[in-house]
Amino acid sequence: MHVEVRGLTKKFGEFPAVNDVHFSIAKGQLIGLLGPSGGGKTSILRMLAGLETPDSGDIVFHGTRVNDLPPQEREIGFVFQNYALFKHMTVQGNIAFGLEVKKWPKNRIKERVAELIELTGLSGFEKRYPHQLSGGQRQRVAFARALAPEPQLLLLDEPFAAIDAKIRQELRAWLREMIDRLGITSIFVTHDQDEAIEVADEIMIINKGNLEQKGSPWDIYKNPETPFVAGFIGESTIVEDVSTLRGFEQAADWPGTKALIRPEYVEIGQANEFRLLSATETGRVRHLHFRGSEWLVEVDVGASRLVTYRSLEKEVLHPGEEIQVLVHRAYLFNDNDSWIMENR
């Protein structure tokens, strides 16, 4: 379903956990809520679900304000990080539970449970109890249980946080595929940017109760609207005084301006590798981190520390080695504004 949120605010004491948040989500979209711990992600989900009452703002599903609807009437499925399965019930029993509460007829429950077992790839595990399942299987039961009553909106609160890396990777792909198949509007909370980038149609970056930016992962990476977003997505380093870098001297006209520099803005090389020597300056290799497909190189240039990538095909650099550095662009910001500056 289509979801619209306007001016959503929630304070705990004086502290705004969620601060005047506005967004809308098209039907069938998968949205990742991404941000640091304590930013307000869970509070947003809980208000959508009706488990928490907003201080102000409207929550609108299908064009109807639902603020006053109790959770069970909002057509929402909720998946928690810690599975929250009933330990004394089998897989089948867990999936059927919500339908029994809603007094679905027995034969419809049976059909629906069979459908979900099939959908979530749990055939053969119907009679098992949660302790007889792996973490990934348990989480699939939790999905099946949340989907059983045919919700219109699926809320997932860090669904993969308790699962180890390899299985998590598989579950992400599985989730994406399942949501595409079902066409169900879904919002999932994560603090793992790779997870959000890989799975979500759009990301919402939440920090200190504020929605900093909403957009596709690529758009957010290319056009960050705030320094927080720029620093949160992708690798970067902050240079306190960018006017000390060659090509950015003009920035001295705006005292207090800092720069965020991404690895791909920085080119490095041994002296003989550079054709544009006039534009470069001298730096020193500080650390090299082997990343499997490339090196991540930390470089000192004057008082600034930069990071960049170096392809494995090029000659291996060594810590302490003097190299040439060219910074192509910087993302500049001060207290009031932010902008991109190119080194021409």
Q: Kindly indicate which of the ranges 40-48, 82-90, 120-128, 257-265 contains the residues binding ligand ATP, using the contact rule CB under 6 A.
A: 40-48
Which position among 39, 54, 227, 269 is part of the footprint of ligand ATP (CB under 6 A)? Answer: 39
> CA-to-CA distance for 211 and 274, rounded, in angstroms?
42
Which of 157, 155, 86, 151 minimizes the C-alpha distance to 116?
A: 151
Q: How many residues bind ligand ATP (CB under 6 A)?
A: 11
Q: What is the largest CA-CA distance in the chain?
A: 79
Question: Judged by CB under 6 A, does residue 37 bind ligand ATP?
Answer: yes
Contact region for ligand ATP (CB under 6 A) — 33-41, 238-246, 278-286, 312-320? 33-41
- In whole angstroms, the minimum distance from the beta carbon of 37 to ligand ATP comes to 3
Question: Judged by CB under 6 A, which of 42, 186, 210, 236 binds ligand ATP?
Answer: 42
Distance CA 214, CA 193 (A): 14
Half-sphere exposure of 217 (CA within 13 A, CB side): 17
Q: How far is the CB of 40 from ligand ATP (least distance, A)?
A: 4
By CB under 6 A, the residues from 185 to 224 that bind ligand ATP are: 191
Q: Between 41 and 258, whose beta carbon lies closer to ligand ATP?
A: 41
Exactly one of 17, 30, 196, 230 binds ligand ATP (CB under 6 A); which one?
Answer: 17
| 35/159 with CB nearer ligand ATP | 35
Distance in angstroms (rounded) separating the CA atoms of residues 344 and 333: 19
For the CB of residue 74, give the shortest distance to ligand ATP in the complex, in Å: 19
If the CB atoms of residues 43 and 280 are measured against ligand ATP, the closer one turns out to be: 43
Q: In this chain, which stretch among 31-39, 59-67, 220-228, 273-281 interacts with ligand ATP, using CB under 6 A?
A: 31-39
Q: Reading across the β-sheet that carries 304-311, which strands appear in turn?
A: 266-269, 322-327, 281-290, 294-301, 304-311
Q: For the CB of residue 206, give the shortest distance to ligand ATP in the complex, in Å.
A: 6
Q: Is 47 left (phi over 0), alpha (psi -120 to 50) or beta?
A: alpha
Spatial separation of the C-alpha atoms in residues 59 and 21, rounded to whole Å: 11
Q: Which of 65, 78, 44 is nearest to 207 (CA)?
A: 44
CB atoms within 10 A of CB 65: 12
Which span sits near ligand ATP by CB under 6 A: 30-38, 138-146, 171-179, 266-274? 30-38
C-beta separation of 330 from 342 below 8 A? no
Place of tokens 């790839």: 121
Measured from the CB atom, the residue of 40 and 227 that comes closer to ligand ATP is 40
Residue linked to tokens 């069970």 = 72
Using CB under 6 A, which of 5, 41, 260, 323 touches ligand ATP?
A: 41
Cβ–Cβ under 8 Å, residues 96 and 107: no
The yes or no reply on residue 43 touching ligand ATP (CB under 6 A) is yes
Interface residues with ligand ATP (CB under 6 A)? 12, 17, 35, 37-43, 191
